[in-house]
């Protein structure tokens, strides 16, 4: 009994670490922790923004239809790279669904995944998400190249990358909605 009292904290830490490495328990814990520590994304200072150049980018939706990103030129656009196996990606999905629902008519959304379309459809149906998910038909524009998931870009009507966020974020925050409202109000270039 004295041994347990002396080593209780060590035993608890070992149990928590073990739970993190078991896929059935580790993934939900990681998603929860990512949500807990997610904050609103920050806007890039005007002088540090990159100009998006390559609008000719073909993608395939989950029904097999090819679409071209050039239809979003001159519009406020959100591009999110994610995966079904990525805990931080899963953590931010509910806030993205909320943001998408609020801005469906004013902002173009692209959720890009490099996974099988059947797997993506199954995931979205299981979770009850109604998001525009695509797979790249070929390559990704240089301005949107990232080697981390999730990565999200917000592009203004002028083609400026206003937000370049790697990692989970709270996308339906008041601060994010203020940014989008301001970008929507900007005149066309």
What does the pLDDT look like over 145-160, one tens digit per residue?
Answer: 888 999 999 999 999 9
Phi, psi of 36 (to 5 degrees): -60, -35
Q: Which of 16-20, 48-52, 97-101 is most confident?
A: 97-101
Q: Which residues 6+ apart lie within 8 Å of 38 measured at CB?
A: 91, 92, 95, 168, 169, 170
Highest mean pLDDT among 21-25, 34-38, 179-183: 179-183
Confidence of residue 112 (pLDDT cuts 50, 70, 90): very high
177, exposed or middle or buried, with CB in 10 Å at 0-12, 13-18, 19+? middle
How far, in Å, CA of 119 to CA of 8, rounded? Answer: 42
* 137 against 46, higher pLDDT: 46
Find residue 152's DSSP bridge partners: 80, 165
User: What single-letter DSSP state applies at residue 187?
Assistant: P
Task: Please say if the pLDDT value at position 127 is more than 60.
Answer: yes
What pLDDT is attached to residue 41?
Answer: 81
Structure tokens at 83: 């995966």
Domain ranges within the chain, ordered by starting residue = 2-34, 40-185
- Is residue 141 over pLDDT 70? yes
Mean pLDDT of 108-122: 96
The percent of residues above 70 in pLDDT, for the chain, comes to 80
Give the DSSP H/E element, type plus range, for residue 134. strand 133-136
State which fold the 40-185 domain adopts: Glutaredoxin (3.40.30)
pLDDT (tens digit per residue) in 26-57: 556 555 655 555 557 889 999 999 998 889 99
DSSP readout, 26-47?
HHHHHHHHHHHT--PPPPPPGG
pLDDT given at position 32: 60
pLDDT of 130? 96
Q: Report pLDDT for 25.
A: 57
Give me the long-range contacts of 21-29 (CB less than 8 A, separation at least 24): 27/87, 27/90
- Residue 94 contacts residue 32 (beta carbons within 8 Å): no
Pick from 177, 155, 170, 165: which is nearest to 103 by CA? 177
Residue 32 or 144, more confident? 144
């Amino acid at each position: 009994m004295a041994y347990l009292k002396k080593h209780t904290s060590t035993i608890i830490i070992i149990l928590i670490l073990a739970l993190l490495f078991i896929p059935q328990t580790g993934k939900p814990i990681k998603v929860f922790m990512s949500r807990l520590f997610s904050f609103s994304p920050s806007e890039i200072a005007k002088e540090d923004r990159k100009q998006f150049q390559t609008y000719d980018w073909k993608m395939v939706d989950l029904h097999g239809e090819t679409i071209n990103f050039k239809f979003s030129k001159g519009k406020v656009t959100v591009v999110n790279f994610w995966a079904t196996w990525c805990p931080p990606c899963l953590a931010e999905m509910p806030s993205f669904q909320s943001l998408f629902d609020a801005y469906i008519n004013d902002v173009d959304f692209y959720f890009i995944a490099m996974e099988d379309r059947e797997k993506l459809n199954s995931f979205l149906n299981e979770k009850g998400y109604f998001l525009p998910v695509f797979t790249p038909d070929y390559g990704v524009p240089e301005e949107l190249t990232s080697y981390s998931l999730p990565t999200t870009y917000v592009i203004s009507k002028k083609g400026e990358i206003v937000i370049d966020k790697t990692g989970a974020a709270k996308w339906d925050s008041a601060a994010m909605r203020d940014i989008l409202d301001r970008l929507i109000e900007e005149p066309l270039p």
